[in-house]
């Protein structure tokens, strides 16, 4: 009653494989290969995928996109807690440099993903993690006390 039904990850992967395959003859041996291929599609091709996936999964396009970005792609990102100190330091550096507080999460996420290009971080996932850090005053206070001298 009032509960939103979830999307099954295996079913999503199978449907996404079929959709991406319509744009290439490649065989996707793993979800990571599929993820990489999907990211190489043009915007119009991705829009076509969202539309068709929403029909196949009986969900709205927004629900399908949200599942992709908020759940499915996270299997490819390393644990950001490993990088928490580095991200906190970047937050503080940007605050001290006068970066507008509204822009800090975006700026830090872009700086971080650019610095770690060899690791395929999902920018939205990094952005969410940075916002989580920024919204927890304990982290900022602790980081400020420990790292401000290094800034």
Q: How many domains in the chain? A: 2
Q: Could you write out the DSSP letters of every residue in 55-102?
A: HHHTS-HHHHHHHHHHTGGGGGSPPGGGGHHHHHHHHHHHHHTT--GG
Which residues fall within 8 angstroms of residue 11, CB to CB, at 6 or more apart?
57
pLDDT score recorded for residue 137: 67
Phi, psi for 41 (deg, rounded to 5): -70, 155
Range of the domain at 122: 80-150
* 68 and 44 share one domain: yes
Contact indicator for 113, 121 with CB cutoff of 8 Å: yes
Asked, for residue 4, whether it belongs to a domain, the answer is no
Contact indicator for 91, 143 with CB cutoff of 8 Å: yes
Which residues fall within 8 angstroms of residue 67, CB to CB, at 6 or more apart?
6, 7, 12, 59
pLDDT score recorded for residue 151: 36
Asked, for residue 119, whether it belongs to a domain, the answer is yes
* 107 and 71 share one domain: no
pLDDT in tens, the chain (151 residues): 444 568 999 999 999 999 999 998 888 889 989 998 998 999 999 999 999 999 999 999 999 999 998 889 888 888 899 999 999 999 999 988 998 888 999 999 999 999 998 887 878 889 999 999 988 866 555 555 555 433 3
Asked, for residue 106, whether it belongs to a domain, the answer is yes
- Chosen domain end from 29, 53, 76: 76
> pTM of whole model > 0.75?
no
Which of 79, 80, 81, 71 is closest to 35 using CA atoms? 71
* 109 and 131 share one domain: yes
* 85 and 146 share one domain: yes
pLDDT score recorded for residue 114: 93
* 13 and 72 share one domain: yes
* 49 and 109 share one domain: no
Which residues fall within 8 angstroms of residue 104, CB to CB, at 6 or more apart?
91, 94, 95, 130, 134
User: From the CA atom positions of the chain, what is the Rg in Å?
Assistant: 19
pLDDT score recorded for residue 116: 93
pLDDT score recorded for residue 139: 57
- Chosen domain end from 42, 76, 110: 76
Contact indicator for 67, 12 with CB cutoff of 8 Å: yes
pLDDT score recorded for residue 24: 84
Asked, for residue 1, whether it belongs to a domain, the answer is no
């Amino acid at each position: 009653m009032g509960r939103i039904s979830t999307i099954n990850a295996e079913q999503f992967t199978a449907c996404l494989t079929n959709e991406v395959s319509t744009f290439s003859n490649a065989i996707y041996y793993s979800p990571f290969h599929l993820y990489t291929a999907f990211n190489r599609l043009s915007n119009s091709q991705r829009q076509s995928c969202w539309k068709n996936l929403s029909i196949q999964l009986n969900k709205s396009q927004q629900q399908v996109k949200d599942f992709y970005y908020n759940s499915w792609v996270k299997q490819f990102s390393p644990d950001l807690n490993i990088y928490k100190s580095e991200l906190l330091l970047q937050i503080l550096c940007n605050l001290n440099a006068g970066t507008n507080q509204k822009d800090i999460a975006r700026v830090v996420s872009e700086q971080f993903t650019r610095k770690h290009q060899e690791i395929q971080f999902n920018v939205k996932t990094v952005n969410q993690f940075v916002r989580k850090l920024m919204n927890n005053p304990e982290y900022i206070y602790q980081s400020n006390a420990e790292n401000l001298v290094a800034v």
